C-alpha cells in the first residue's frame, strides 16, 4: 500500500522550496528591511496557533490524520476561531518566511499550500466530521469559518 502524503509534508516541502528559491533563484525582491521583519510576527503567530491546536488533539486523544475517522469533536480554544487552525498556523508560517525573505517567487509556495489544503484535505476532513458528528458539526461549520 502506498503511504499517503500528510499535510505536514507539504508544509515542510514548502519551507524547503522557499529557502531554496531565496538562495538560488532570488528573482525579485519585493519586501525590504524593516518591513520584511513582519514575517517574524507571522512565524511566531503561526507557531503558537499550531501548538495550541495540536495540544487540543493530544488532550482529547483524537487523530490528527485527515485520512482517519475522528473520535472527538473539538470546538473550543482556537477551534472557536477557525475550523482548521493547524493549517492556518502552517500557512502563517509559510507566509511569514516568504515575507522575511521578501522574494516574489517565495510567495508561490504558501499559495500552493493553501490550494492543496483547500481542495484535497479540508473537504475530506469535513466529510469525515459530518459523517461522524452530523448536525452538531454542520452547526459548528455554519458558525466558524474554514480558515478564519
Widest pairwise Cα distance in the chain: 50
Domain assignment of residue 126, given as a range: 7-143
pLDDT attached to residue 3: 55
Q: What is the CATH number of the domain that holds 95?
A: 1.20.120.1630
**Domain presence at residue 1:** no
Q: Which residues of the chain have pLDDT under 70?
A: 1-3
Task: Collect contacts of 69-77 with beta carbons under 8 A, ≥24 apart.
Answer: 69/128, 69/131, 69/132, 70/128, 70/129, 70/132, 70/133, 73/129, 73/132, 73/133, 73/136, 73/137, 73/140, 75/140, 75/144, 77/52, 77/53
Indicate whether 48 belongs to any domain. yes
Residue 137: its pLDDT value, please?
96
Does this model's pTM top 0.85? My answer is yes
Residue 11 counted as domain residue: yes
Is the bond leading into 63 cis (omega within 30 degrees of zero)?
no
In a domain, residue 92? The reply is yes
- Please tell me the total count of domains within the chain: 1
Q: What is the pLDDT of residue 9?
A: 96
Q: What local confidence, expressed as pLDDT, does residue 30 receive?
A: 95
Q: Mean pLDDT of all residues in the chain? A: 93
Instruction: Indicate whether 2 belongs to any domain.
Output: no
Amino acid at each position: 500500500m502506498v503511504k499517503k502524503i500528510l499535510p505536514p509534508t507539504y508544509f515542510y516541502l514548502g519551507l524547503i522550496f522557499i529557502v531554496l528559491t531565496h538562495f538560488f533563484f532570488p528573482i525579485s525582491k519585493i519586501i525590504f528591511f524593516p518591513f520584511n521583519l513582519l514575517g517574524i510576527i507571522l512565524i511566531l503567530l503561526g507557531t503558537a496557533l499550531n501548538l495550541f491546536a495540536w495540544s487540543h488533539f493530544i488532550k482529547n486523544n483524537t487523530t490528527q490524520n485527515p485520512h482517519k475517522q475522528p473520535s472527538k469533536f473539538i470546538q473550543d480554544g482556537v477551534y472557536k476561531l477557525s475550523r482548521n487552525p493547524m493549517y492556518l498556523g502552517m500557512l502563517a508560517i509559510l507566509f511569514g518566511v516568504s515575507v522575511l525573505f521578501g522574494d516574489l517567487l517565495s510567495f508561490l509556495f504558501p499559495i500552493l499550500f493553501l490550494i492543496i489544503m483547500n481542495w484535497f484535505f479540508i473537504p475530506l476532513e469535513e466529510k469525515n466530521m459530518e459523517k461522524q458528528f452530523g448536525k452538531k458539526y454542520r452547526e459548528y461549520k455554519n458558525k466558524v469559518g474554514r480558515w478564519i
